[in-house]
Amino acid sequence: MNPAGRSAFLHPFARPTADRFVTIVRGRGAVVWDDQGNRYVDALASLWYCQVGHGRDEIAEAVGQQLRLLDSFHTFEMFTNEPAEELTATLAAAAPIAGARVFLTNSGSEAVDTAVKLARLTSVLRGEPQRQLVVSRHHAYHGVTIGGTALQGLPANREGFGPLLPGVHHVDHDDPESVAALFAARGGEIAAVIAEPVQAAGGVRPPAPGYLQRLRELCDDHGALLILDEVVTGFGRLGSMWGAHRYAVPADLITFAKGVTSGYQPLGGVLVGSAVRDAIEADPAFVLRHGHTYSGHPAACRAALANLAIIGDEHLAQRALHIGAVLSPALNELLDNGLVTEVRGDGGIWAVELPEPAGAPAVRDRMLGDGVIARPLGPSTIAFCPPLVIGDDDLERCVVALTNALRAELS
């Protein structure tokens, strides 16, 4: 405790003066327990990442074995390691981008910054240095580095941090014609468009029909790159391995993190397609001056390999469709009963809009008391994105806890 009686831990996305925390000590499948012995359904897969559920011994074993063999060794310049080679080959083989190579980072934010740097670099190497603008969408969440913060379409998250990355332009999140108008005016300056296939932290917003395809067309017509930010939507969340598969939209760069390890180790990265490869591989003397100390960390790569094996062996992408088949009708029943005003989602990611005066933080608190950890997004949205292994009984607990919370808040 510091002199103000506060924990030394300055929490992310929290009030620095907050003094009430839930100490999570243990997890199994879609359930976690706190230090008081309370059981909670983890209705958001922690923070949109725990696809395979908690407490998977096979991942812990793989990480432990690797740490005993080789804790870590960097991959800059001429060094490599077997887990990083194996993971990147595995990801490339299943990528929705033909001939992809894979750049590794520690987080989704770093993956986003990497993709933007690669897109801008590609413009320069192609002899079009004026092409530096990056187009992002309202309601987008792309992480918290200076680059990611600038790209976010959530104004509250951008405030107070001074000048952010220049050359970012925000467009409507589901009207492709606003993007078309920008391309018509400034197409020759646009390096890339970045889009989450389903916007997650910005409210769980699936794409309007044809929106992503239109982005692809506009990028093709004007010589820009399309970056899909699949930090949440990758690794089975939408019923396919990638959102690019789910919505049949080819990308030039795809960012990933979260579900690649289900959180057992921090890891992110970028799938890099031929538009960028052709530019950076053209001159054999060219050096890619970008990378993190822990890019290709062997223990993180082992965690990812073990996690990906589980996702494949247990057909967890199909489980996402089952989650949708259970949650969608149950949440729509709340809509019919006037307890929520909107239901949005796809596959294994859903959200409801609450009617006034119900506030999302208060509803979340009531649900917590009922043994379910859901996530409030802004003042009026509650999100669900459970581990893909969640059982029907725990899915039902989520719906019951939401219903009870809403009845209490609206009575």
Is residue 112 a contact point for ligand PLP (CB under 6 A)?
yes
- Select the residue interacting with ligand PLP from 201, 212, 343, 372 (CB under 6 A): 201
Q: What's the token pair of residue 13? A: 């996305």
Is residue 257 a contact point for ligand PLP (CB under 6 A)?
yes
**376: preceding bond cis by omega (within 30 degrees):** no
Closer Cβ to ligand PLP, 198 or 279, answer by number: 198
Which residues in 197-287 belong to E strands, given as ranges? Answer: 225-229, 253-256, 268-272
Rounded Cα distance, 337 and 410, in Å: 12
Binding footprint of ligand PLP, residue count (CB under 6 A): 16
Of 309, 276, 310, 305, which is closest to residue 290 (Cα–Cα)?
276
- Tally Cβ neighbours within 10 Å of residue 317: 23
Question: What's the min distance (Å) between Cβ of 229 and ligand PLP?
Answer: 4
- Select the residue interacting with ligand PLP from 42, 113, 189, 229 (CB under 6 A): 229
Question: What's the min distance (Å) between Cβ of 112 and ligand PLP?
Answer: 5
Is residue 349 a contact point for ligand PLP (CB under 6 A)?
no
Question: What's the min distance (Å) between Cβ of 43 and ligand PLP?
Answer: 16
Is residue 232 a contact point for ligand PLP (CB under 6 A)?
yes
Question: What's the min distance (Å) between Cβ of 307 and ligand PLP?
Answer: 15
Is residue 46 a contact point for ligand PLP (CB under 6 A)?
no
- Select the residue interacting with ligand PLP from 200, 279, 352, 372 (CB under 6 A): 200
Contacts of 2 (CB under 8 A, 6+ apart): 8
Long-range contacts of 238-241 (CB under 8 A, 24+ apart): 238/197, 238/198, 238/320, 238/346, 238/347, 238/348, 238/349, 239/317, 239/318, 239/320, 239/321, 239/324, 239/346, 239/347, 239/348, 240/317, 241/94, 241/96, 241/317
Closer Cβ to ligand PLP, 29 or 148, answer by number: 148
Rounded Cα distance, 144 and 158, in Å: 9
Rounded Cα distance, 321 and 33, in Å: 27
Residues 118-157 that bind ligand PLP (CB under 6 A): 141-143
272 close to 226: Cβ distance less than 8 angstroms? no
Question: What's the min distance (Å) between Cβ of 231 and ligand PLP?
Answer: 4
Residues 263-282 that bind ligand PLP (CB under 6 A): 268
Question: What's the min distance (Å) between Cβ of 367 and ligand PLP?
Answer: 20
Is residue 114 a contact point for ligand PLP (CB under 6 A)?
no
Question: What's the min distance (Å) between Cβ of 358 and ligand PLP?
Answer: 25
Residue found under tokens 């959180």:
263
Residues lying near ligand PLP in the complex (CB under 6 A): 48, 107-109, 112, 141-143, 196, 200-201, 229, 231-232, 257, 268
